[in-house]
Amino acid sequence: MKRNLSDRKYVINAIFIIVGVIFLIRLLYIQVLDESYILSAESNVLRKNTIYPNRGLIYDRNEELLVYDEAAYDLMVIPRQVKQIDTVEFCMLLDITDSAFKAKMHKAKKYSIYKPTVFQAQISKEEYGYIQEKLYKFPGFYVQLRSLRKYPISIAAHTLGYIGEVNKKEIEKSRYYRQGDYIGKSGIEKFYEKELRGKKGTEIVMVDVHNREQGSYRNGRYDTLSEPGQNLYLSLDADLQAYGERLMQNKIGSIVAIDPKTGGILAFITSPVYDPNLLVGRVRGKNFNNLMNDSLKPLMNRAIMGTYPPGSTFKIVNAMVGLQEGVLREGTYYSCYGPATTPIRCTHDHVSPLALKEGIEQSCNPYFWNVFKSIINNPKYHSIKESFNSWRKHVTSIGFGSKFNTDIPFELNGNIPTSESYDKIYREGHWNALTIRSLAIGQGEILITPLQLANLVVIIANKGFYYPPHLVTAIGTKGNRIKEFNEKTETTIDPKHFKVIQEAMLNVFEGDHGTARWAKLEGVHICGKTGTVQNPHGKDHSMFIAFAPKDDSEIAISVIVENSGYGSTWAAPIASLLIEKYLNDTISRPYIEKRILEGNLISRN
C-alpha cells in the first residue's frame, strides 16, 4: 500500500520548479510588462538642473556699461526628496524661523512636490559657501546658480526696468518659464526680455539617495546648452542721463531728449527716480513696497505715463496746422489787448498787432486764439466738425494721442479730443471754435506725454518728419541695428512751413523779448518754446521744449517740472543746461546749474 518514498522527489522537484516559474512570471511582469518602474527609477536618480544663461548686458550709446550680471545663488527644494531633516539645524543655517520654514515648504509643495522650487532666493556668495558645506545633511535641497542684475552707475532705473520672479500669469503665457525664473517686469528688461534672457539649458545629473550629484547622465547626451542673452546697445547717453537726473533732483517731472537724426532717445528722465540697485535681490520686495507706497510715486515713469496739457508749447502745433491749412502766413497779424483780450487774455507785455514770429516768441495767447479760430472756421470745410477733424488729423500725425509702440512698455496715449467726444459733451452742432478755445493754447481736454512732446520737437527740428522714438539701437553687436526704428515717418505738415517756426523758436532764446532769453547759451543756436501749463490741482507746470543747434540739430528735448510755475523759470534753464552738456560736454554757466541743483520744489503733503 505504501508508495515508494523515492517518488516524493517528484513532489520536491515540482516545488522547486513551481517557485522558479512563479519568479519568472513575476519578473516578466515587473521587468518587461510594467513600465512604471522604469519611470520611477528615472525620477529617482535624475535631476534636471537648469543652467541659467547670463542675461544680456546693456550699454549706452558710448558703450558704457549700464547693466551686468553678478552671480547669486538660489536655494532650491524638491519637496518629494525632503525627508527626515533636522529642521532646527536647517533653520539655524538659513537664519529663518520655524514657521517661515513651514510656510516656505507649504508653498513649495503647493506648486509641485516633484519640481524644484526656489526655497530661498539670492543667497550671497558668502552665505552660499557656508550653506553649501552643510547641505548634504538636507536631502531635497540644492543650490542653483543664478545671477542678479547690477547697475554700476545707478541711473535710468525706469528706462532699464527691473526683473523679478515670474508670476502665475506669465508662466501660463509662456512655456519657457518655470516658477522661480526671472523675467523683465518693466522698461527695457521687459520689452527685450526675449533677447536679454538668452536660452536656458538643462543638465541632467544623476543623484544618489543622499541627493549628492554623481555626474552627468549618459555623458550629457540629453543635456542642452544654454545660450547667453544678447547685449543691447541703447541710444541713451549715460552722462546726459545722469546729469539730467541730478538737475531734476528734488523736483517732480520729466525730461526726454531725442536725437532727431535717428529717433534714438538720449535721455529719458523721470523724477523722483530711485536707485535701480534697490530692486535687486532679496531686498527687492521690501524696497518695492516702500517705493510703491511713496506719495510721490517714484515707480511711475512720468516720461510716458505722465500726461499733461501741452500748454503754450502747443501753440507751435496750431501754427503748423494753420500754415499747412493756408489760414496762417508768416505775415499774418493779429491784435492783442493784453489782459483785456477776449476770449483768451494775454499775460505777456508786447507790441500789438503782432505777426507769427512774435506770437511764438512771446507766446501770445490772443494770437493763437485767432489762429485756432481761423483753422476751425476755415471756409474750405463745410462744417466745424470737418475742419476740426482736419485739425485733429494734423495733430495726430505728429504722434499726439497715440503710442509710438516702439520699445518702451507702459506708454500712455495721452488724449487728443475727437469731434465725437465734443458731440457727446455739447451735443452735435452745438459747439464751435469758441467752445473749444482752450485747445488754442494747449489746455483743455488735450493731454500729451513728455515723450510725445519731445517727438514734436524732433519734427520741428527735422522740418516735418521723425523717426519713432526708441531706446535700443542695436541688438547683439553694435552694428546690428534694429531696422524698423530707421523708418522715417512723415507728418502732414509741409517742410517749408518750419522755417518761420524755427526762426521764431530761435528768438525765444535770442530775441529781445524771448521768453527764455535768460537761458541763452553763447555759441549755440538753441530753438525753444516755453510752456506754463495751467494746473487745476495746484501750481502751474513749468514746461519747455528746445532743439539745438538750429540747423542740423543733434538734440531735441522736452522738459516738464511739475508745479513749479513758469516754463522759463525751471524747465528752460534745465533744457539749456542739458543741451550744453550734450553738445559741449561742459557747463559754462555754473550759477544757473547751482540754482537748479539747489532748487527744491517738492512739498510733501
Partner 1 sequence: MRIRANIYKNIDWITILFYFLLVLIGWINIYAAVYNEEHRSIFDLTQNYGKQLIWISTSVILILIIMMVDANFFSTFSYIIYFLVILMLVAVLLVGKEIAGSRSWFQIWSFSLQPSEFAKFATCLALAKYLSTINVDMSKFKTKFVSTFIIIFPALLILLQHDTGSALVFFSLILVLFREGLSGSLLMIGVVVAILFILALLINKFILIGVLAIIAVMIYLLNRDIRKKLIWIIGVFIMASAYICSVNYAFENVLEPHQKKRINVLIGKEKDIRGAGYNIHQSKIAIGSGGFTGKGFLKGTQTKFDFVPEQSTDFIFCTIGEEWGYVGSFTLIILFVGLLIRLIFLAERQRSKFSRIYGYCVASILFFHFAVNIGMTIGLFPIIGIPLPFISYGGSSLWGFTILLFIFIKLDSIRLELL
Q: Is 80 in the site for partner 1 (CB under 8 A)?
A: no
Q: What is the 3-state secondary structure (H, E, C) of 313-360?
A: HHHHHHHHHHHHHCCCCCCCCECCCHHHCCCCCCCCCCCCCECHHHHH
| CA–CA separation, 522 and 485 (whole Å) | 34
Q: Is the CB of 19 or the CB of 88 nearer to partner 1?
A: 19
- Residue 34, H or E segment: none
Residue 435 Rama label (left phi>0; alpha psi -120 to 50; beta): alpha
Q: Is the CB of 8 or the CB of 499 nearer to partner 1?
A: 8
Cβ atoms 557, 526 nearer than 8 A: no
Kindly state the smallest distance separating residue 472's Cβ from partner 1, in Å.
47
Q: Is the CB of 25 or the CB of 340 nearer to partner 1?
A: 25
| CA–CA separation, 265 and 470 (whole Å) | 6
Kindly state the smallest distance separating residue 18's Cβ from partner 1, in Å.
10
| CA–CA separation, 605 and 598 (whole Å) | 20
Kindly state the smallest distance separating residue 79's Cβ from partner 1, in Å.
13
Q: Is 113 in the site for partner 1 (CB under 8 A)?
A: no
Q: Please identify, among the stretches 11-19, 159-167, 192-200, 289-297, the one whose residues bind partner 1 according to the rule CB under 8 A.
A: 11-19
| CA–CA separation, 151 and 200 (whole Å) | 23
Residue 116 Rama label (left phi>0; alpha psi -120 to 50; beta): beta
Phi, psi of 511 (to 5 degrees): -75, 160
DSSP SS3 for 149:
strand
| CA–CA separation, 580 and 521 (whole Å) | 7
The site that binds partner 1 (CB under 8 A) totals a number of residues, namely 37
C-alpha torsion angle, residues 152, 158, 160, 162 (rounded to 10): 90
Q: Is the CB of 205 or the CB of 474 nearer to partner 1?
A: 205
Q: Is 587 in the site for partner 1 (CB under 8 A)?
A: no
Cα distance between the two ends of the chain: 117
Beta bridge partners of 33: none
Q: Please identify, among the stretches 24-32, 251-259, 532-540, 547-555, the one whose residues bind partner 1 according to the rule CB under 8 A.
A: 24-32
Q: Is 27 in the site for partner 1 (CB under 8 A)?
A: yes
Other C-beta atoms lying within 10 Å of the C-beta of residue 257:
30
Q: Is the CB of 30 or the CB of 296 nearer to partner 1?
A: 30
Scan residues 282-311 and list those touching partner 1 (CB under 8 A). none
Task: Find, among 53, 48, 40, 21, the residue nearest to 116 by Cα.
Answer: 48
Q: Is the CB of 8 or the CB of 380 nearer to partner 1?
A: 8
Q: Please identify, among the stretches 12-20, 152-160, 182-190, 405-413, the one whose residues bind partner 1 according to the rule CB under 8 A.
A: 12-20
Kindly state the smallest distance separating residue 205's Cβ from partner 1, in Å.
11
| CA–CA separation, 96 and 93 (whole Å) | 8
Kindly state the smallest distance separating residue 206's Cβ from partner 1, in Å.
6
Cβ atoms 525, 355 nearer than 8 A: no
Kindly state the smallest distance separating residue 35's Cβ from partner 1, in Å.
8
Other C-beta atoms lying within 10 Å of the C-beta of residue 579:
26
Q: Is the CB of 13 or the CB of 486 nearer to partner 1?
A: 13
Among 113, 145, 209, 351, binds partner 1 (CB under 8 A): 209
Q: Please identify, among the stretches 110-118, 145-153, 206-214, 247-255, the one whose residues bind partner 1 according to the rule CB under 8 A.
A: 206-214
Question: H-type helices in 98-185, by residue range?
Answer: 98-111, 125-134, 157-160, 168-173
| CA–CA separation, 352 and 359 (whole Å) | 10
Q: Is the CB of 26 or the CB of 478 nearer to partner 1?
A: 26
Scan residues 29-58 and list those touching partner 1 (CB under 8 A). 30-32, 34, 36-38, 40-42, 44-45
Q: Is 92 in the site for partner 1 (CB under 8 A)?
A: no
Q: Is 15 in the site for partner 1 (CB under 8 A)?
A: yes
Question: H-type helices in 440-566, by residue range?
Answer: 450-462, 498-510
- Residue 387, H or E segment: helix 384-397
| CA–CA separation, 352 and 68 (whole Å) | 59
Task: Find, among 214, 217, 213, the residue nearest to 202 by Cα.
Answer: 217
Q: Please identify, among the stretches 19-27, 114-122, 234-242, 305-313, the one whose residues bind partner 1 according to the rule CB under 8 A.
A: 19-27
Q: Is 1 in the site for partner 1 (CB under 8 A)?
A: no
Q: Is the CB of 77 or the CB of 346 nearer to partner 1?
A: 77
Kindly state the smallest distance separating residue 134's Cβ from partner 1, in Å.
20
Q: Is 17 in the site for partner 1 (CB under 8 A)?
A: yes
Q: Is the CB of 207 or the CB of 459 nearer to partner 1?
A: 207
Scan residues 484-503 and list those touching partner 1 (CB under 8 A). none
Q: Is the CB of 16 or the CB of 591 nearer to partner 1?
A: 16
Kindly state the smallest distance separating residue 218's Cβ from partner 1, in Å.
9
Q: Please identify, among the stretches 10-18, 426-434, 560-568, 587-595, the one whose residues bind partner 1 according to the rule CB under 8 A.
A: 10-18
Among 63, 98, 133, 208, binds partner 1 (CB under 8 A): 208
Q: Is the CB of 12 or the CB of 340 nearer to partner 1?
A: 12
Distance (Å) of CA 228 to CA 51, 124, 220, 372: 10, 22, 19, 55
Q: Is the CB of 38 or the CB of 296 nearer to partner 1?
A: 38
Q: Is the CB of 80 or the CB of 286 nearer to partner 1?
A: 80
| CA–CA separation, 163 and 180 (whole Å) | 12
Q: Is the CB of 86 or the CB of 420 nearer to partner 1?
A: 86
Q: Please identify, among the stretches 9-17, 122-130, 299-307, 567-575, the one whose residues bind partner 1 according to the rule CB under 8 A.
A: 9-17
Kindly state the smallest distance separating residue 37's Cβ from partner 1, in Å.
3
Among 58, 72, 207, 560, binds partner 1 (CB under 8 A): 207
| CA–CA separation, 123 and 141 (whole Å) | 14
Task: Find, among 113, 109, 115, 85, the residue nearest to 98 by Cα.
Answer: 85
Binding site for partner 1 (CB under 8 A): 5-6, 8-9, 11-13, 15-17, 19-20, 22-24, 26-28, 30-32, 34, 36-38, 40-42, 44-45, 83, 206-210, 214
